[in-house]
Amino acid sequence: MIKNLIFDWSWTLSNDLDNIHAVTMNVFEKLGLSRLSLDEYKKEFTLPYMNFYRKFKKDATREEVDGLFMGELRSIWNPSSFEGVLEILEFLESKNIRLSILSSHPQEKLEQEIEDYWFAGFFQDIYGSVPDKIDALKNLMKTKDFKPEETAFAGDMIHDIEAWKEAGIITIAATWWYQTKESLSDSNPDFMIDDIAELKKLFV
């Protein structure tokens, strides 16, 4: 039985792909790099995010990238949540599921967006600015005493699914935005959902 559900943020709950792409390409320009189209960005992006930047600039540092990213984020940010997220959070709360967020999205912006989306109060654990989700997951599981067989992760990246499977937790692949259903299927998640509302079937 799933008692703890950990969400990724961007492209899973937050509909922010276009915004993230615009911010990232502005950072590219400031690093002296050529801009990527949205399709090129989706093809090349990987986690941890510094691995992505170092594909194009080997000596890029996290301090440099984070500073530029936050500056651009403040100037053009205007995301929204996916339709139906608030309703599913209310449903999960009614089932006494402990909800957490684990994301590379900047902590300050993550907390602000949670407020803006009217999601405040649903999440017991909010971890943003995470450079390596594998280490962060291990810390979360240990400090909160989560049992792997009672813990699930919902996200949209193959890297995440593979990492969580290695950690022994239940994996839920969200197919509605970033990576294709076919590519996510190749990572062998425990469950695949095409719409956020489909989470309900795992808790009835």
Report the b/e string of 191-200 with b at 16+ CB within 10 A: ebbeebebbe
The pLDDT tens digits along the chain (204 residues) read 999 999 999 989 999 889 999 999 999 999 999 999 998 998 899 888 999 999 999 999 999 999 999 999 888 777 899 999 999 999 999 999 999 999 989 999 999 999 999 999 999 999 999 988 888 888 899 999 999 999 999 998 888 888 888 889 999 999 987 677 888 888 899 999 999 999 999 998
Q: Which two tokens stand for residue 120?
A: 């405040």
* 60 close to 31: Cβ distance less than 8 angstroms: yes
**3-class DSSP state of 127:** strand
| Tokens 């684990």 found at | 102
pTM: 0.85
